[in-house]
Structure 1
Amino acid sequence: MAAGLAILTELIIPQEGDNQDLTVLISLFVIIVGFMIVSGWSLGRPLYYIIGWIDRLANGTYADSDAEQKIYASKEKKLKRPYHLYKELIIQLHTLSDVLEKSKQDRIQLDEMKREWIAGISHDLKTPLTYIKGYSSMMLSPQYDWTTEEKTKFLMEIEQKADHMQDLIGDLNLSFRLDEQQTPLKWEQTDLIEFVRRIVADVTNDPRAAGYNLSLETTGSHIETMLDVKLLQRALHNLILNAILHNPPGTNVTIHILQDTHLHIVIADDGKGMSEEGVDRLFDKYYRGTSTDILSEGTGLGMAIARQLVLAHGGDINVTSRLNEGTSISVTLPLHN
């Protein structure tokens, strides 16, 4: 056995001399080249994978690919040894992929909401136009001799539908101006408590508020502050009316006014409440969701406009809600002395 190994060694490794030196050099070269190939593959494979990942992101493919599973050694998501050097980069790419995928889904959802919103707005504008055209045609028809009482009734209907269209167009115009920050505030010194009391009285007298219990609670009788009366009235009116429109009759709606380092106007109801998704999307433009079975009317911009107007006053707005327990909307404004 030993003799055989000796003979094999002599055949592979020549005797001393030039041939032996050449063989050693060639062997060393082969070893170095082999090491470089193995090392290059170990280092280059993760880079090739990362470049491919970035390329997929650039082409709009954000979901995990099948190739991703190959970089892990086990189901516990432990990276294989060659990928350890790029661990932080891989984590950041994962985060970026998740963010881009969520943004893509949100964009798809927003586009769908816009399409539904446009269809709703078209319907809301078409409906009063149909009434106006119908009543106008009836009054102008030579076939009938309408009484004064009937004409008055027709004109009242036309005026009501025209007012509805004016409100819709006003919402659209105001929303676009707020987006472009083209609505400067006209600051006035105002008694906040009396200001809110008038808004509550106005909503109470709205026919849609019949059967609802509205009340105002405050810790003081007089709070002077600076605000844009017209725009903030629009915001608070939208918020209070929203508590009416999206809750069943008999719901109690209470408006609280509090003062500490800021001014707080809290609109709380004990109605049906909202889901987590409803709370998250409440101030989104084009969202016309409702917690009741009543078909939503309006532009779907009322709550978004309310939030924009509160923010324009340097304030903030927050919502908390529980299904079947109620909703609370808190408006916080800076205290102007």
Structure 2
Amino acid sequence: MNLRNRVAFYFVSRLFYLMLIWGLLIVMSILLFNFFLGHNKTETSPLSINKIVEQTVVTNQNMSVSLNIKEDLINNEMWLQILDEQGNEVFSYNKPKNIQTHYTPGELVSDYLYPAKKGYQLSTWYKTIDNQDLTWVLGKTMTSNNPFFYWINNLWIISIIVIGMLIALFFGKQLGAPLLYIAYWIENLSKGKYEEPSYYWKFHAKQHRRSKVEYKTYHELMQALSKLTSTLQRNTVERELLEKTREEWMTGVSHDLKTPLSVIKGYTVLLSSHKYDWEQEQVRQFSKIMEERVEYMEQLIEDFNLTFQLKNATIPIQLEQKNLVHVIKDIIEQLKGLPESKNKLFSFEANKEEIFFHMDTRYIKRALENLIANSIKHNPPETKIKVIVHEDLSDTKQIRILIEDDGVGMDQETVDHLFDRYFRGTSASSNNSGTGLGMAIARQIIIAHGGGIEINSTPQLGTQCHIIFPLE
């Protein structure tokens, strides 16, 4: 059953239950009223109040009844009262001392309906005689005087009201609680508070609430809200990370470009000065230095862009199945041509002639070049640099690459920060064109291909770089 049909069924069923319960309460009320009123039935009067009215004589505002009526009143232990328009007694006979002499219309009705309240039964009659509006009240003490029935009747009426309120609250909670919960959740999202409400129903755990029928009805809607909340949370984190990365990128660019720009500016000022007459060779030398700094700045900006794209997964990785053995051999041959590679000893091993891997060749070359070049540039002559590739098709199904040298090594602090984006500037006398981002870029490229990298190094003993790529 889809969400719309289930919600409609839920509301209709609850309304049906509500009507059924109210119907049962009404039937019970009628039965109990009949029961209580059956105990409060008025006793049949042996005297007819209509007959008494007809035999009442009014003379000059004086009233009297016949002797037969008086005898019947005494014999039947009854009394008679005649009231004027204001409810004041103007005549009475055989009236007990505790009977009041003034009535309001409401009191007459109440005493008639609830005789057990005061312990006597009243009958009334109204008639106009000689332009006087008179009311006859015939009273008789009840033989069964039990006020309990009067109060239990009132108590039942109060109970019906209380039960009705409790039922309304119960069904209101069932129908309204999930909707209020969802409304509060949506309100939180609109305010930028990307989390499920936790304040609601403090006395019940969240999972307990969700197991209740009224919450299960909106299961799909709450699941959709939960996914939306998670997406908004993730987007918020990613946006904050992007802002932080952008700030780092701007800070790094401005910092690393400042030094080469200073060098270029210095030589530009010297060349444009009228105080000196520079020889042609000196001008070429200055131009060569400025060219190197411009090339460094271009490389730096390219590296910054690459590391920024890799970190935010915005770079398009084009995966193709290539022979990794062939790719690494090409890298080693190219790096042997570096000036720093003179007097370095290279070796390469592979357990297979062809090890195929889905990769973006351009970026994998960039990563491995950076790692191998790091061993070349930072080690003395006669350093042995070994590269080993091993394909493991057992349970692990992975490709392992080891780049190992027996050079100067590194301390643990250097190893811990080796992949940090260290923005290193240059000076006019420096001949090092590195940007300080090579290792960070290498690691990001390897991670982008689903792999991992680990560095182990010991001072004066050498460095080992372990790379692992899982095979699908």
Q: What aligned pairs does 1:11-90 form with structure 2 within 5 A after superposition?
A: 11-13=151-153, 31-41=163-173, 44-62=176-194, 67=199, 70-72=201-203, 78=205, 84-85=211-212, 86=215
> For residue 205 of structure 1, what is the aligned residue in structure 2?
340
Percent of aligned pairs sharing the same letter = 23
Q: Which is strand-richer, 1 or 2?
A: 2
Q: 1:267 to 1:327 in 2, by over 3 A?
A: same
> For residue 7 of structure 2, what is the aligned residue in structure 1?
none
- Does 2:146 align with 1:10? no
From 157, 160, 164, the counterpart of 2:289 = 157
Unaligned stretches of 5+ residues in structure 1: 15-22, 283-287
Q: TM-score, normalised by structure 2?
A: 0.45
Q: Does the 8 Å contact 2:260/2:294 carry over to 1?
A: yes
Q: Does the 8 Å contact 2:450/2:470 carry over to 1?
A: yes
Secondary structure of the 2:249 match is helix
Q: Does the 8 Å contact 1:193/1:222 carry over to 2?
A: no
> For residue 134 of structure 1, what is the aligned residue in structure 2?
266
Give the Å deviation of 1:99: 6.7
Give the Å deviation of 1:161: 0.5
Q: TM-score, normalised by structure 1?
A: 0.59
Q: 1:56 to 1:194 in 2, by over 3 A?
A: same
Unaligned stretches of 5+ residues in structure 2: 1-115, 118-144, 427-433
Give the Å deviation of 1:56: 0.4
Supply the distance in 1 between the matched residues of 2:259 and 2:386 (Cα, whole angstroms): 34
Give the Å deviation of 1:61: 0.7
Give the Å deviation of 1:180: 6.5
Give the Å deviation of 1:9: 2.3
Q: 1:224 to 1:204 in 2, by over 3 A?
A: farther
Q: Does the 8 Å contact 1:125/1:165 carry over to 2?
A: yes
Q: Does the 8 Å contact 2:367/2:442 carry over to 1?
A: yes
Q: 1:308 to 1:63 in 2, by over 3 A?
A: same
- Does 2:464 align with 1:330? no
Q: 1:253 to 1:93 in 2, by over 3 A?
A: farther
Secondary structure of the 1:13 match is helix
Supply the distance in 2 between the matched residues of 1:298 and 1:13 (Cα, whole angstroms): 95
Secondary structure of the 1:205 match is helix
> For residue 326 of structure 2, what is the aligned residue in structure 1?
191
From 307, 317, 324, the counterpart of 2:451 = 317
Q: 1:52 to 1:225 in 2, by over 3 A?
A: closer
Q: 1:323 to 1:93 in 2, by over 3 A?
A: farther
Supply the distance in 2 between the matched residues of 1:150 and 1:32 (Cα, whole angstroms): 103
Q: What aligned pairs does 1:162-311 form with structure 2 within 5 A after superposition?
A: 162-171=294-303, 179=314, 181=316, 191-198=326-333, 200-201=335-336, 205=340, 216-219=347-350, 223=354, 231-240=363-372, 255-260=387-392, 263-267=399-403, 271=410, 289-290=421-422, 298=435, 303-304=440-441, 307=444
Give the Å deviation of 1:135: 1.5
Question: Could you say which structure has the greater relative contact order, defined with CA pairs below 8 angstroms and 6 or more residues apart?
Answer: 1
Give the number of equivalent residue pairs: 302
RMSD: 5.8
Q: Does the 8 Å contact 1:135/1:158 carry over to 2?
A: yes
Q: 1:140 to 1:214 in 2, by over 3 A?
A: farther
Q: 1:154 to 1:166 in 2, by over 3 A?
A: same
Q: Does the 8 Å contact 2:452/2:467 carry over to 1?
A: yes
Tell me which moved more, 221-230 or 4-13.
221-230
Supply the distance in 1 between the matched residues of 2:232 and 2:177 (Cα, whole angstroms): 25
Q: Look up the equivalent residue of 1:318 and give its one-letter code.
A: G
Q: 1:71 to 1:195 in 2, by over 3 A?
A: same
Q: Look up the equivalent residue of 1:198 and give its one-letter code.
A: E
> For residue 20 of structure 1, what is the aligned residue in structure 2?
none
Q: 1:154 to 1:183 in 2, by over 3 A?
A: farther
Q: 1:136 to 1:11 in 2, by over 3 A?
A: closer
Supply the distance in 1 between the matched residues of 2:417 and 2:367 (Cα, whole angstroms): 19
Q: Look up the equivalent residue of 1:133 and give its one-letter code.
A: K
- Does 2:250 align with 1:115? no
Supply the distance in 2 between the matched residues of 1:295 and 1:244 (Cα, whole angstroms): 21
Q: Does the 8 Å contact 2:198/2:206 carry over to 1?
A: no
Q: Does the 8 Å contact 1:263/1:332 carry over to 2?
A: yes
